[in-house]
Amino acid sequence: MTQIPDIARSPAATDPLSPMKPGAFSTKAWQDNLTLYETIRTMPFNEELAAGTLSKARFTQYIVQDAHYLIGFGRALAIAAAKAPHPDQIVQFSKGAEVAIVVERSLHGSFFDDFGITQDMFETTPVSPGCSHYVSYLLATAWSEPYEVVLAALLPCFWIYAEIGRDIHARASENNPYQAWIDTYAGEEFHDAVRAMIATTDAAAAAASANNLARMHFSYRRATQLEYMFWDSAYRLEDWPV
Ligand SMILES: Cc1ncc(CO)c(N)n1
């Protein structure tokens, strides 16, 4: 059996979230996008988040946009649930939608309190171009593409956050102001959901046509690019130019 070298994993990965099975969709998707993952891992937003030096303005921009994002992400998961051919996956994705909206709302809510962001400020802050692009892409894919392609578009939202979460957790500064965020995405509860998402996507890919498999790889890459753009747009305090 072909051994996949360690380099195929993120540098900080000690307990791989995916077993990196040869031939699995997730293995190829991870390897094909490794350079992009490394760019995300070392981008200023994540370097400064790990160091605890990320400005309050940038984190506030991020957390407000992320609260908008999670509503769209939850909606896309609900569409995946509706498209799922097997009842176990209806449960998996509708629970995922619930977690995205309810559980993460509480994480964001506590940051909202800490940073003095009111519900009114949240509701009146427009969705940024980067956030809008990502949510629009997920929803367009969820509504119009086959089930397995929808899963491939949703996978980076889970997997990238888990890998970034534990990478940052391993190197985070003491008394990091963003520790609650880091702990959420480095935590076992989130990682269990990520492992289940990888397994379900791999199972769907194994039954996909060659055409849909190619579309899955496209969607996985596009969503990974949009993850980069989401963080980058928050870092740049992005607003609409007109
Ligand atoms: C933009 C973005 N992607 C993924 C996650 C993880 O759920 C998140 N909270 N925000």
Is 230 close to ligand 1, i.e. is its CB under 6 Å away?
yes
- What is the pLDDT, as a whole number, of residue 13? 46
The yes-or-no verdict on residue 5 having pLDDT over 90 is: no
115 CB within 6 A, ligand 1: no
Q: Where are the domains of the chain?
A: 56-235
Q: What is the ipTM of this complex?
A: 0.98
Q: Is the CB of 111 under 6 A from ligand 1?
A: no
For residue 1, is pLDDT > 60? no
Q: Which of 100-104, 138-142, 178-182 has the highest mean pLDDT?
A: 138-142
Least confident of 15-19, 177-181, 230-234: 15-19
Mutate to test the pocket of ligand 1, among 45, 62, 69, 77 (most ligand atoms within 8 A of CB): 69
11 pLDDT above the threshold of 50: no
178 closest CA partner among 42, 33, 24, 53: 53
Q: What is the 3-state secondary structure (H, E, C) of 22-87?
A: CCCHHHHHHHHCHHHHHHHHCCHHHHHHHHCCCCHHHHHHHHHHHHHHHHHHHHHHHHHHHHCCCH
Residues 6+ apart with CB under 8 A from 59: 49, 111, 115, 177, 178
45 Cβ inside 6 Å of ligand 1 = no
Average pLDDT of the chain?
Answer: 91
Report the atom number in ligand 1 closest to the C-alpha of 131: 1
pLDDT at 10 over 70: no
- Is the CB of 66 inside a 6 Å radius of any atom of ligand 1? yes
How far apart are the C-alpha atoms of 208 and 28, rounded to whole Å? Answer: 15
The mean pLDDT of 44-71, rounded to a whole number, is: 96
**Which pLDDT score, from 0 to 100, does residue 220 have?**
98
Q: Name the band, by pLDDT with cuts 50, 70 and 90, for residue 78.
A: very high
Which of 227, 228, 229 best tests ligand 1's pocket when mutated (most atoms within 8 Å of CB)?
227
- Ligand 1 atom nearest the C-alpha of 134 is 1
157 CB near ligand 1 (under 6 Å): yes
Q: What is the pLDDT of residue 185?
A: 93
**Alpha-carbon span 62 to 46, nearest angstrom:** 12
The pLDDT of residue 14:
45
Per-residue model confidence (pLDDT) at position 4: 36
- CATH class of the domain defined by 56-235: mainly alpha
Q: Rounded to two decimals, what is the model's pTM?
A: 0.92
What is the pLDDT, as a whole number, of residue 108?
84
Provide the residue count of the chain.
242
Indicate if ligand 1 lies below 6 Å from the C-beta of 145.
no
CA of 36 to the centre of ligand 1 (A): 17
Q: Say if residue 200's pLDDT is above 90.
A: yes
Split at pLDDT 50, 70, 90, the class of 64 is very high
Question: Which percentage of the chain shows pLDDT scores above 70?
Answer: 93
Q: Evaluate: CB of 163 within 6 angstroms of ligand 1.
A: no
Q: Whose CA is nearest to atom 2 of ligand 1?
A: 157
The model's confidence at residue 16, banded by pLDDT at 50, 70 and 90, is low
